Amino acid sequence: MHKPVIFIDGEAGTTGLQIRQRLAREDSVRVISVAPELRKDARAREAMMREADLVILCLPDDAAKEAVAMALGLGAEAPKILDASSAHRVDPAFVYGFPEMAEGQGAHIAHAKLVSNPGCYPTGAIALIRPLVEAGVIPPDHPLTINAVSGYTGGGKAMIAAHEEGNAPPFELYGLSLQHKHLPEIQHYSRLTRRPIFVPSVGSYAQGMLVSVPLHLDTLPGRPDAGAIEEILARRYAASAYVNVIRSPLTVSDRLEPEAVNNTNVAELRVFAHPTLPQAVLVAQLDNLGKGASGAAVQNLKLMLHV
């Protein structure tokens, strides 16, 4: 029986390596690689694309755009493409690779030739916000703030090197120009008409992520309580294997750490509140290298290849 062939263009990077490791545990696909000395050789990469059923792009944005053009230039031999960069996340030619985002999204991914893997921060933010916008609880033009912290592996080669060499601060905010590259997909797929304020940060630990959205409940239509918000999220993800609503901590716990679901493809959502205050904090906990990157990529490629 033919096993679908996968080529990871950019497999030497953090996400590429993680995808390769996850696929090593899968018997349903075969991974091919270009020789290390030919990783930037266009002809060698094109030969891999001709052989592959699906190409995963783990490249900088500009290089990903060039790779897509190269692959599509193969015509009838063109493979399916799963782009893990941020180059095509709001491109209408690409299906957004967050299967749990909406009813039928998994089917769209399964029938797509071009899929863009979501960003790590957007996965958490969209999972929390979109169901509430669609339910009418959060108006599309509501002013929202999204706060998040990630392990340093989400920051690219320079940041990884700085932390591993001991030259990085223990914690830092970034994206303070309010122009973080994840904002377009957060706004678009959360169905927000008003641009949210997004404040990401990095801690001196390898991986794991918390994305939080504070809400003044008395400013929302109908003044919902935290329990109603939790119920909307629980209904949306009731059938999901990978996005889980953890219902117990509504008023129980006042602490949450970012590493609890590391090395999984799981995102856990929680609603924190106080029984007498009209406020809540929605939190998504995920692995920035798992459901935020390589785990999501493997989930998407299985849908695209029907394996």
| Catalytic residue selected from 120, 186, 273, 289 | 120
d(CA 142, CA 221) in angstroms, rounded, equals: 10
What is the C-alpha radius of gyration for the chain, rounded to an integer number of angstroms? 20
d(CA 8, CA 153) in angstroms, rounded, equals: 19
Reading the block at residue 127, the tokens are 């999972």
Reading the block at residue 89, the tokens are 């996340």
Task: Give Cα 178 to chain centroid, integer Å.
Answer: 19
Active-site residue, 120 included: yes
d(CA 154, CA 288) in angstroms, rounded, equals: 6
Cα distances (Å, whole numbers) of residue 106 to 60, 92, 112, 240, 282:
26, 17, 10, 11, 25
Q: Which residues, other chains included, contact 222 with Cβ-Cβ below 8 Å and sequence gap of 6+?
A: 137
Phi, psi of 217 (to 5 degrees): -65, -30
Catalytically annotated residues: 120
